[in-house]
Amino acid sequence: MEAVLAEAVALLDAAGPSALTFRALAQRLGGGVASIYWYVASKEELLDRATDHVIGAALADIEALPSHDDPLDHLRAMAISLFDAIMERPWLGAYFMRNTTVQGNSLRLYETLGRPTLRLNLTARQRFHAVSAVVGVVIGSAIDLGQEPPQEVLDGALGRDAFLGRYAQEWRELDRADFPFVHEIVDEFEGHDDIEQFRSALDLTLAGLRLQAGA
């Protein structure tokens, strides 16, 4: 099973979920397609198990992080570590915690993320919403930033700065009366750093949690 999952992850890393077929996997393993069915019943199960295989490594990294006296600082460090893991594999976010019956590592990671909130003055519902919000910021940001760039950027015909600059110029030409917010932030958009943007979203979420908990 370990070899099957390792090769499945290699296919996913190379070309995403569409590349993960039983035929392609069997070719990498040097066997027949029927042999894959000894391990998984469907592609969906294979995707869930491959996701959990990778999440196991992310969980180990998170568990190795130094502890923090401040539970929200600890949660922040874990969230950034998970974000980094998903940024390395953009396909991962779509399947994280999709099936916790199969994804034991994902469930343990969710538990690990939630434990710092047990040190805060929150209700069970507030804890649930808090961790859901943090996971949402991490997964949503990683999936968004992991999208394949436009073909002209991939081809090298246009750099990232020039690509953003083109849209920024279009925004500047909009009627300020109709788009006052866009005009206010267009300079920030043009030169923004994606990772800084994620960390700001995470910090805003955690600041709201801190206020709620009175911490």
CATH number of the domain that residue 77 is part of:
1.10.357.10
Whether residue 148 lies inside any domain: the answer is: yes
Render pLDDT for 7-35 as a digit per residue (tens, 0 to 9).
899 988 888 888 888 888 888 877 777 87
Of all residues in the chain, the percent with pLDDT exceeding 90 is 53
Phi, psi values for residue 105, rounded to 5°: -65, -40
pTM for the model stands at 0.83
Q: Which of 39, 42, 41, 84 is nearest to 61 (CA)?
A: 84
- Counting the structural domains of the chain, the total is 1
Instruction: Judge whether 104 lies within some domain.
Output: yes
Residue 101: inside a domain:
yes
Tell me which residue of 145, 144, 143, 115 sits closest to 131, measured CA to CA: 115
pLDDT digits (tens, 9 = 90+) for 83-133: 999 988 888 888 888 888 899 999 999 999 999 999 999 999 999 999 999
Q: Over the stretch 140-164, which tens digit does the pLDDT of each residue have? A: 898 887 665 566 655 666 677 787 8
Domain of 100 in residue numbering reads as 67-213
Report if residue 62 sits inside a domain. no
Kindly give the residue spans of alpha helices, DSSP state H, lying in 65-176: 71-88, 104-114, 124-145, 151-154, 160-172
